[in-house]
Structure 1
Amino acid sequence: MSGERRAERPEFRVWAVEGLPEVREGDDLAKLIASAEPDLADGDVVLVTSKVVSKAEGRIMAAADREAAIDAETVRVVARRGTLRIVENRQGLVMAAAGVDASNTPAGTVLLLPEDPDASARAIREGLRAALGVEVGVVVTDTFGRPWRNGLTDVGIGAAGVRVLDDLRGGTDAFGNPLSATVVALADELAAAGDLVKGKAAGRPVAVVRGLPHLVGGQGDAAGARALVRSARDDMFRLGTSEAVREAVAQRRTVRAFTDEPVDAGAVRRAVAAAVTAPAPHHTTPWRFVLLESEESRVRLLDAMKDAWIADLRRDGKSEESIAKRVRRGDVLRDAPYLVVPCLVMEGSHHYGDARRDGAEREMFVVAMGAGVQNFLVALAGERLGSAWVSSTMFCRDVVREVLDLPEGWDPMGAVAVGHPAGEPRARAERDAETFLTVR
């Protein structure tokens, strides 16, 4: 190039290590790798398939116990479809069958993931340092499927001496735009590169990456691959569809204390959209939801209801002390930053001219109303909003209709207080479903 030195361009090499024997329990992986690849150099990254780590560590068991092994390795079921289970395992990884694998192992056995993949990576790194005097990074890899994408890829499940994440937040791109969400999974990218040369069935469980010494050692390597696991707080996709529904139902609580944080009106509308999918008789839509988004509307309604309630209690002969105590129970509505009044409408109902059948007709609509409110409460829980369904509007429907200027045919079916819970809800006592069942 006319004597000019060509500008150095970034590049790296990756190759599979040849000549490794079949790994057995008790083998020293570092010595096996050092013997097969004695020319390792400082700054190399050694990628080791988790299966050979598991074999060396004796993480093998009879295949007849595969389902029991999956159960033992599972912390939480994320999703289930037929016999396939996506679970969170004891290493914190979300994957199929907890990583229990029947491939690349003798017939009649299965492999479990290493007990502590980061510790395994540290042991291999220290062993290579002792055997060859080199400072390398080590990544223990495993094969993962991914949400929204077909196909499998290798990712890092254990690491030592290598940066697993590259946090670019706070920097700028080539055009000067600020980077606010870019964190690169370096260990996963290295693992995937190694898998291209190792292959899934070629008997080459170790690969080496050379040319990226800036990823080895230094700051950011101490946390190991555990740093790649997303925390529950930041995980928007912790559950499969059916599991998410069950979790939302289980997490719904009656909340009686709220913070001052405003309620997202869009979240309430999404919950209403879920509510109106409830079943109803005769293809009707018997639900109406009145949203009290202004403080003025809430205070005006609650003051009118309070006056009507006190008048009823006095007619019942209750003492002023008893009245004051009962009225305080309604404070949950007054303290909530958002109120919703579900109303039942009987449009589309049948009239038989028979008290028994007409009564049953209304009961069907009331049941549909309850189903709609339950949908609403569960959907609010899914939006991380607390709620309390209070029946008080049912006892002064005329007052509610007048204050809110509602049609005569709208029957208020309680009021729902909505807001952000002021604290964690108390644990619900366990209920055994069998005690509620009768089988014929």
Structure 2
Amino acid sequence: MTAPSYTVWAVPGLPEVREGDDLAKLIATAEPGLVDGDVVLVTSKIVSKAEGRIVAADDREAAIDDETVRVVARRGTLRIVENRQGLVMAAAGVDASNTPAGTVLLLPADPDASARAVRDGLRDALGVEVGVIVTDTFGRPWRAGLTDVAIGAAGVRVLDDLRGGVDAHGNPLAATVVATADELAAAGDLVKGKAAGLPVAVVRGLAHVTGGDGPDPGARALVREARDDMFRLGTSEAVREAVAQRRTIREFTDDEVDPGAVRRAVAAAVTAPAPHHTTPWRFVLLESAAARAELLDAMRDAWIADLRRDGKSEESIAKRVRRGDVLRRAPYLVVPCMVMDGSHTYGDERRDAAEREMFVVAAGAGVQNFLVALAGERLGSAWVSSTMFCRDVVREVLRLPAAWEPMGAVAVGQAAGEPKARGERDVGGFVVVR
């Protein structure tokens, strides 16, 4: 049995590519011996030049801004962004090298369409069925160095899904999807080189990765969907995003809440600042339906009694109780409490009041940390102040120490729908500069 093998070589003799050039004809002239099943690897730079993607730009940063859809991470002047093509990469793929001064080179507007055009052109020129991959150079998280990856493809199985099969020992393959197009791009980069002036390579011997029935997904299939991207943001961006995306959620699905996610949020909560090196936070987790019902029934009765003392009509009371049912609609409740262990007593009303306020602020910071961390866990939440109005009832039902002060309650669960967009707030309206 012959061992599997393939051959890869760079294509010499290609001229300097200019706007309007027919890349397929240039490649066919330089490498007329292409055969069915070959894979042609084309550096994106010459595709961009042929397609006129050179633009005047004295300021490369402005060009990056124009090509950016979303900033993923920023460190100094370096930006990792999602660009118009949906690719997450440094500087949106804007290239200021090998292009005249005062200009920059943008990536092809539609790299998959570019690959299809080259493939069709080679079929017309040489009568061959080949795969075509448009490549570009990427850095990668957690790995030093650069490598070429596929940003456009035609006639190539860009992903080889092995899930459902077994390995050599009979173990089931549950998560193995091979990025075939990226592996081919990297193989071509070994012979093209970064500075050798060889922008095209050919791989022969892997005809099984070309052709195929059905629609051609192109290299777009290699881009991970946002919902599956566990590393969608850099560290500081993720913090800002979690804060910005935190919403008060009032409608929840019936899906269970992962207790581990709530405990991770508590771990974030207790990193908040606090006076005198104290730990003024306690979080009571109501994980059983019985515990939630017992607390909420007792709180409802206490609220109704308060409203009756205020002289509210029974109809008004019923409406208020219905509106306040957000805690009942949640599959998980948390009651944050403040404790003042370690607080100072001064015997002076003004100073003692300020001491208590410090602890209240620290408790609020812990609750905010908790809410933001829940958002980071993709859990919806709503902070409701109701337990603060019936602290004795809450302590009695939950059997809490007398010194624990309930500071509201947090409803937790999967949001039943997309929250409404928050209106823009002008930061200047909240800032006073002296």
Q: CA deviation at 1:112?
A: 0.5
Report the equivalent of 1:243: 237
Q: Which residue number in structure 1 is paired with residue 105 of structure 2? A: 111
TM-score, reference length from structure 2 = 0.98
The TM-score normalised by the length of structure 1 is 0.96
Tell whether the 8 Å contact from 2:165 to 2:172 is kept in structure 1 after alignment: yes
> 1:100 aligned to 94, 102, 115, which one?
94
Find 2:421's aligned residue among 419, 423, 427. 427
Q: Does 1:205 align with 2:214?
A: no
Check if 1:438 corresponds to 2:429.
no
Could you say which residue in structure 2 is the equivalent of 1:384?
378
Residue 48 (structure 1) aligned to one of 42, 49, 53: 42
Write the distance in 2 (CA, Å) between the matches of 1:53 and 1:417: 53
Give the one of 399, 403, 412 matched to 1:418.
Answer: 412
SS in 2 for 1:244: helix
Q: Is the 8 A contact 1:159 1:225 kept in 2?
A: yes
Q: Tell me, what secondary structure is at the counterpart of 1:335?
A: coil
Shift of 1:271: 0.5
Aligned to 2:402: 408
Give the counterpart letter for 1:321 in structure 2: E
C-alpha distance in 2 between matches for 1:341 and 1:330: 16
Match of 1:37 in 2: 31
1:30-429 equivalences in 2 (<5 Å) = 30-219=24-213, 222-429=216-423
The whole-number CA distance in structure 1 between the counterparts of 2:323 and 2:342 is: 36
Q: How far apart are 1:63 and its partner, in Å?
A: 4.2
What is the alpha-carbon distance in structure 1 between the residues aligned to residue 142 and residue 198 of structure 2?
A: 29
- Segments of 5+ residues of structure 2 without an aligned counterpart are none
Query: What do the CA deviations read for 1:166-202 (whole angstroms, capped 9, x no partner)?
Result: 1111111111111111111111000000000000011
Distance across 1 between alignment mates of 2:103 and 2:120 = 30
Aligned-residue identity in percent = 85
Distance across 1 between alignment mates of 2:128 and 2:116? 14
Q: Which residue of 2 aligns with 1:3?
A: none
Aligned equivalents of 2:113, 2:253: Cα separation in 1: 43
Q: Report the 3-state secondary structure (helix = DSSP H, G, I; strand = E; otherwise coil) of the residue aligned with 1:77.
A: strand
- Pairwise CA distance, 1:28: 1.2
Give the secondary structure class of the aligned counterpart of 1:106. coil
Give CA deviations for 1:144-185 in whole Å, capped at 9, x if unaligned. 011111111000001111111111111111111111111111
Deviation at 1:284, TM superposition (A): 1.1
Cα offset, 1:220, TM superposition: 6.2
Residues of 2 paired with 1:123 and 1:320: CA distance?
73
Query: How far 1:221 moved relative to its partner?
Result: 6.5
CA contact (8 A) 2:57 2:63 kept: no
Amino acid at match of 2:340: M
Matched, 1:27 2:29: no
Contact 1:161 1:221 in 2 (8 A): no
Which secondary structure state, in structure 2, belongs to the residue aligned with residue 64 of structure 1? Answer: coil
Partner SS state of residue 151, structure 1: strand
1:196 alignment partner, SS class: helix
User: Which whole-Å CA distance do the structure 2 matches of 1:128 and 1:317 have between them?
Assistant: 85
Shift of 1:210: 0.7
Tell me, in whole angstroms, the C-alpha distance in 2 between the residues paired with 1:88 and 1:110. 18
Determine the C-alpha separation between the residues in 1 that align with 2:100 and 2:420: 49
- Pairing of 1:5-16 with structure 2 (within 5 A): 7-16=1-10
Render the CA deviation track for 1:322-354: whole Å, top value 9, x for unaligned.
222222232111221111110001111111111
**Distance in 1 between residues matched to 2:254 and 2:64, nearest whole Å:** 44
Match of 1:4 in 2: none
Q: Which structure 1 segments of 5+ residues have no match?
A: 1-6
d(CA) in 2 for partners of 1:164, 1:268? 39
Q: C-alpha distance in 2, partners of 1:267/1:187?
A: 36
What secondary structure sits across from 1:141 in the alignment?
strand
**AA in 2 matched with 1:255:** I
AA of the residue aligned to 1:323? I
- How far did residue 270 of structure 1 move? 0.4
What is the alpha-carbon distance in structure 1 between the residues aligned to residue 346 and residue 146 of structure 2?
62
Q: Is the 8 A contact 1:163 1:219 kept in 2?
A: no
Over aligned residue pairs, what C-alpha RMSD do you find? Answer: 1.2
Which deviations, in whole Å up to 9, do the C-alpha atoms of 1:344-401 show, x marking residues without a partner? 0111111111111111111111111111101101111111111111111111111111
